[in-house]
Amino acid sequence: MRAPAPLQATPPSDTLRNAVVLAPMTPEQLDAVMAIEQTAYSHPWSRGNFRDSLNPLFEAQCLWFEDELLGYFLAMHGVEEMHLLNITVAPARQGQGWGHMMLDALALWSRSVGAQVLWLEVRQSNTRALQVYERYGFARVGLRKDYYPADRQQREHAVVMSLNLKLT
C-alpha cells in the first residue's frame, strides 16, 4: 500500500475553483466514478453499489472541472440527520481542497433538508482522512469493530464520527 501524499499541496487557483461544477451523479458517469474508486481504495465500492445509490433516497454528486472528474460524494438522508457514505477525491487531485469543498456543499445541503447531524465511518488506519475530518470539525464518537473488510479475510475497525450541523 502506498503512503498518502502530504496534506499540504498547492491549492488550485481561484480561477480553477470558480470553474468547477457540482452536479448530480448519473448512470452515464459511472465509468469515470469507478476509475477513481478503484484507484483510491483497496476495497472499492462496486458499480452496483453506485448504481443502487442513484435514487431519490440518496444524494450523489460529482465535482467536475470541464471534462475531468475531480471527486464525488454519496450521502443518505435520515430523520434530522445525514450519513456520508462515500466521499472521494481523485488521487491526482488530493490535498488541493476539493474534499473540503465537497464537505461544504454536503453540509449546506444537509442543513437545507433539516439535518442536524452529519455522520460517517472511516477506516481506523486511514489517518489522512481522519485528519481531514477532524480539521473540518467532525468528532470521534465511537468505534465499530471489524466493520470493514481488510486483506487476507481480516476485518478493520471503523471510527464513527459526527458533525453537529447546528454549530457549524
User: What positions carry a catalytic annotation?
Assistant: 121, 133
Please name the amino acid found at residue 7: L
Q: How many CA atoms lie within 13 A of 8 on its CB side?
A: 0
Please name the amino acid found at residue 73: F
| DSSP characters over 61-81 | EEEEETTEEEEEEEEEEETTE
Place of cell 454519496: 74
